[in-house]
């Protein structure tokens, strides 16, 4: 029973592919990460056109998991007097994305893919 | 006008400031493009944000009612089971009610927060032994088995922070749920009785009104419970600003 509960906790704290992409995009953007810039960064780096719906629900989910934190900026005229919501990756988020990336690296280790062997 | 309406609609599902930021983002993305593009984006965001609260509410409302009716029918409607004494009637009815309360939370939480959420897990873990205990109430060993399962699960939950918080969240939601049902149904019936008296309803009119009034009250109270569930989840299980060094000075305009 304890084991099942532990699995549930671990599953809740593991990251999906899109969650990793969003966290990495927010990390890359530093202090300028908000909805529009995150979508642009994802498009630039992955060629993937993230829908706003998927992006905002993922951002909220990551914030609920304490992997992201958000703060409202100043309202700007360009946005009809509406403020931007800036995101920043927390230590928990950084640790989770590192864990996920290390797992991928370990899986790739020694494989001979088209790009050559991974050390 | 259209952006204010969009903001209002989004604010039904997320905090107002978040809705404002999303509308601002979409306005910035669309720029000088047509209003149709803005509408398409808003509808997409609205669907993504709304399906979990709405789906969770519907599942909780219908699933909770189904469980309660089935458990009550199993206890009171079965002819081949032995007759229950007063004590058995009291504890089985209470347990059936508690199981229905827990299933409402579990069903709502499974859609709203996900299957692996601590609230979903904890509520389902306590709902299951309660349901099994009601289904096999006449067995001598059943109460001890159900209590044993609950205690074992409670102890195992104490080993994890998420487990402890999950137990606290479920306990708080069940307490609010019981309060909402008790007060809500009393108020609803009082309101109906007063209205019927003032408007001079006949017996048949009262009966017809009751057929609509009771399900409507049930749905309204379930909606209140779902709202409480979200608030408690936010307060107890969701981290705000944990391990962050984000300060307003860092913000670019």
Q: Which residues of B touch A57 (CB under 8 A)?
A: 48-49
Rounded to 10°, the helix A35-46/A17-29 angle is 110
> In chain B, which residues have their Cβ closer than 8 Å to the Cβ of A65?
239
- Give Cβ neighbours of residue B237 (< 8 Å, ≥ 6 apart): A64, B117, B118, B119, B162, B165, B166, B169
Tokens of residue B156, six digits = 């195992």
Tell me whether residues A53 and B44 touch, CB distance under 8 A: yes
The pLDDT score that the predictor gives to residue A52 is 93
What pLDDT was estimated at residue B79? 67
pLDDT band at B247 (very low <50, low <70, confident <90, very high): very low
Query: Are B24 and A83 inside 8 Å of each other by CB?
Result: yes
Beta-carbon separation of B17 and A83 below 8 A: yes
**Interchain CB distance below 8 Å, A52 and B241:** no
The whole-chain average pLDDT of chain B stands at 85
> How far is the alpha carbon of B135 from chain A, nearest alpha carbon, in Å?
22
| Chain B residues with beta carbon closer than 8 angstroms to that of A56 | 22, 45, 48-49
Cross-chain residue pair A78–B240, CB shorter than 8 Å: no
What local confidence, expressed as pLDDT, does residue B36 receive?
84
Question: Taking 60 as the threshold, does the pLDDT of residue B107 lie above it?
Answer: yes
Cα-atom radius of gyration of chain A, to the nearest Å? Answer: 17
- pLDDT above 60 (res B245): no
- What's the whole-model pTM score? 0.80
A43 touches chain B (CB under 8 A): no
How far lies A66's CA from each of A13, A31, A45, A112, B63, in Å? 10, 18, 25, 37, 31
Residue with tokens 């965001």: B45
Chain B environment of A36 (Cβ under 8 Å)? 25, 28-29
Let me know: does B167 contact B153? Beta carbons within 8 Å: no
- In A, which residues are within 8 Å of B114 by CB distance? 12
Query: Is B20's CB within 8 Å of A74's CB?
Result: no
Question: What pLDDT was estimated at residue A12?
Answer: 60
Residues in chain A predicted with pLDDT less than 70, given as ranges, are 1-13, 115-119
User: What are the Cα distances from residue A24, in Å, to A46, B48, B170?
Assistant: 11, 22, 34
- Mean pLDDT value across residues B149-172: 88
- Residue pLDDT, tens place only, B191-238: 988 988 888 888 888 888 888 998 999 999 999 999 999 999 988 887
Flag whether pLDDT at B6 surpasses 60.
Answer: yes
Closest among B169, B181, B102 to B134, alpha carbons compared: B102
| Share above pLDDT 90 across residues of chain B, in percent, rounded to a whole number | 37
pLDDT at B85 over 90: no
β-pairing, A82-89 vs A116-117, is: unpaired
DSSP B24-76: HHHHHHHTTS-HHHHHHHHHHHHHHHHHHHHHHHHHHHHHHHHHHHHHHHHHH
Residue bearing the bigger pLDDT, A52 or B157: A52
Measured CA angle at B58 (ends B47, B189), to 5 deg: 130
Please check whether residue B116 is in contact with residue A5, taking contact to mean a CB–CB distance below 8 angstroms: no
Find the mean pLDDT for residues B96-111.
93
Average pLDDT on B149-160 reads 86
Whether A57 and B24 lie within 8 Å, measured CB to CB? no
């Amino acid at each position: 029973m304890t084991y099942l509960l532990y699995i549930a906790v671990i599953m809740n704290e593991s990251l999906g592919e899109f969650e990793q992409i969003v966290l990495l995009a927010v990390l890359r953007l530093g202090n300028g990460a908000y909805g529009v810039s995150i979508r642009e960064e994802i498009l630039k780096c992955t060629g993937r056109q993230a829908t706003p719906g998927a992006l905002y629900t993922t951002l909220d989910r990551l914030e609920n998991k304490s992997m992201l934190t958000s703060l409202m900026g100043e309202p700007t005229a360009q946005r009809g007097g509406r403020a931007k919501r800036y995101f920043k990756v927390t230590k928990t988020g950084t640790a989770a994305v590192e864990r996920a990336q290390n797992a991928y690296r370990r899986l790739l280790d020694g494989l001979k893919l088209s790009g050559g062997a991974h050390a | 006008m259209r952006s204010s309406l969009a903001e209002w609609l989004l604010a039904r599902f997320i905090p107002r400031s978040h809705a404002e930021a999303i509308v601002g983002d979409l306005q910035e993305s669309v720029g000088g493009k047509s209003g149709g593009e803005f509408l398409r984006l808003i509808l997409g965001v609205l669907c993504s944000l709304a399906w979990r609260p709405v789906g969770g509410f519907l599942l909780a409302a219908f699933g909770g009612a189904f469980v309660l009716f089935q458990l009550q029918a199993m206890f009171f409607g079965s002819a081949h089971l032995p007759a229950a004494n007063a004590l058995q009637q009291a504890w089985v009815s209470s347990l059936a009610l508690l199981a229905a309360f827990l299933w409402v939370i579990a069903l709502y939480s499974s859609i709203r927060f996900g299957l692996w959420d601590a609230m979903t897990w904890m509520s389902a873990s306590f709902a299951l032994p309660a349901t099994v205990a009601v289904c096999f109430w006449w067995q001598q060993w059943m109460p001890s088995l159900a209590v044993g399962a609950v205690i074992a699960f409670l102890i195992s939950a104490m080993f994890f922070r998420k487990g402890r918080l999950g137990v606290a969240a479920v306990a708080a939601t069940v307490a609010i749920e019981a309060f909402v049902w008790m007060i809500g149904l009393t108020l609803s019936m009082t309101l109906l009785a007063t209205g019927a008296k003032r408007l001079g309803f006949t017996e048949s009119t009262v009966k017809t009104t009751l057929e609509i009034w009771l399900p409507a009250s049930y749905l309204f109270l379930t909606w209140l419970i779902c709202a409480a569930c979200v608030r408690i989840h936010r307060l107890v299980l969701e981290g705000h600003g944990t391990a962050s060094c984000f300060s307003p000075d860092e913000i670019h305009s």
